[in-house]
């Protein structure tokens, strides 16, 4: 028993050391991500795009994808994820902000048409001691409680901060456009890749980007496309189920607890896949228009993080009792969820 306790403390020390390393290296990951995206865009627009047919028709979609890629990455890196002790985010104005179908004020922003919004319960964080609403979690690296905390992301896409209420939509859209851009580079740049490695009869390389740089960019694009597509699919599946990455782990525990007492666990935040997706992207007849998915505009989340849409008739999750909810445990405990 004593040996197991020492082993556990050793692993906790390694975990905290990893947190410090990733936190310190975060800005370098962001710089590397910007460089790689820039090289990829330069490779596409100087090598692949000039050889596309109907350039007057194919160029605008390519530019739009690149614009979304860079803009959503900028947003997800610079927008605070939403901290529990901060004031609610207010809608902005200007060309970078989309206009909703109905003007709303700060606070709860979704209409009551078929949606039940309930004020979130609050608890004291066991790490920082501050009060925080439901679905907020404490990030060890940031040292603060984040509204609708999903995860802290130093790698693999390198945003150097948490993904939470205010920037999670940009994170998902950035991954979507990263998959699109690397997919088209991989498919449309196949012949140039063969030419660069010398597998064609042509010995001429008339492009600004060096052959070696293009080969490495092409190979990296294929790998990133596959890897990020898996990540994106996982996140979209979680969104459709009405849960974050952390909540998905917690809900597996809740299911076992409910099953042990002969009950079924029901996620009260799950309003159905279609509604969950509309809430996440905040689009619909009475919210923001659909074109905000293809234009890199800022919009507000459907809530300020202090109230949440729940299933009709549900005040809390079914299958677990009060006091059984998982929290951010102390460093000496084993079930760390942030």
Assess whether 153 carries a catalytic annotation.
yes
> Would you mind telling me the total number of residues written for the chain in this entry?
338
Paired tokens of 263: 């009950």
CA separation for the pair 251, 150 (Å, rounded): 14
C-alpha distance across the termini of the chain, in Å: 26
Please choose, from the candidates 184, 201, 139, the residue with its C-alpha nearest in 3D space to the C-alpha of residue 164. 139
Is the peptide bond preceding residue 325 cis, with omega within 30 degrees of 0? no
CA separation for the pair 123, 139 (Å, rounded): 16
CA separation for the pair 276, 309 (Å, rounded): 9
CA separation for the pair 196, 204 (Å, rounded): 9
Beta bridge partners of 187: none
Q: Which residue has the tokens 């890749």?
A: 193
Q: Could you tell me if 138 and 234 are in contact, meaning their C-beta atoms sit under 8 angstroms apart?
A: no
Q: Which residues contact 54 (CB under 8 A, 6 or more apart)?
A: none
Paired tokens of 154: 């130093």
Catalytic, out of 62, 125, 142, 153:
153
For the annotated catalytic residues, the residue numbers are 153
């Amino acid at each position: 028993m004593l040996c197991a306790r020492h082993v556990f403390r050793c692993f906790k020390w390694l975990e905290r050391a990893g947190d410090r390393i990733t936190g310190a290296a975060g800005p370098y990951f962001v710089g590397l991500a910007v460089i790689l995206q820039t090289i990829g865009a330069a490779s596409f627009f100087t090598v692949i795009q000039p050889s596309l047919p109907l350039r007057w028709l194919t160029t605008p979609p390519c530019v739009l994808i690149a614009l979304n890629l860079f803009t959503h990455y900028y947003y997800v890196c610079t927008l605070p994820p939403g901290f529990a002790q901060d004031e609610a985010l207010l809608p902005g104005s200007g060309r970078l902000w989309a206009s909703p179908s109905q003007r709303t004020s700060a606070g709860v922003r979704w209409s009551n048409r078929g949606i039940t919004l309930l004020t979130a319960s609050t608890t004291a964080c066991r790490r920082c001691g501050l009060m925080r609403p439901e679905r907020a979690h404490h990030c060890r690296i940031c040292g603060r409680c984040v509204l609708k905390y999903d995860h802290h992301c130093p790698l693999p896409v390198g945003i150097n901060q948490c993904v939470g209420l205010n920037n999670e939509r940009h994170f998902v859209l950035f991954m979507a456009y990263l998959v699109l851009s690397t997919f088209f580079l991989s498919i449309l740049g196949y012949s140039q890749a063969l030419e660069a490695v010398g597998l064609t009869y042509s010995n001429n390389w008339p492009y600004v980007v060096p052959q070696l740089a293009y080969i490495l960019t092409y190979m990296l694009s294929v790998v990133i496309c596959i890897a990020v597509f898996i990540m994106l699919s996982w996140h979209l599946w979680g969104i459709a189920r009405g849960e974050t990455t952390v909540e998905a782990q917690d809900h597996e525990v809740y299911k076992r607890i409910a099953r042990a007492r002969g009950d079924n666990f029901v996620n009260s935040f799950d309003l159905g896949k279609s509604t969950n997706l509309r809430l996440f992207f905040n689009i619909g007849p009475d919210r923001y228009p659909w074109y905000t998915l293809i234009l890199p505009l800022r919009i507000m989340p459907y809530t300020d993080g202090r109230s949440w849409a729940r299933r009709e008739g549900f005040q809390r999750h079914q299958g677990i009792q009060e006091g059984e909810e998982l929290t951010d445990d102390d460093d000496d405990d084993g079930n760390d969820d942030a």
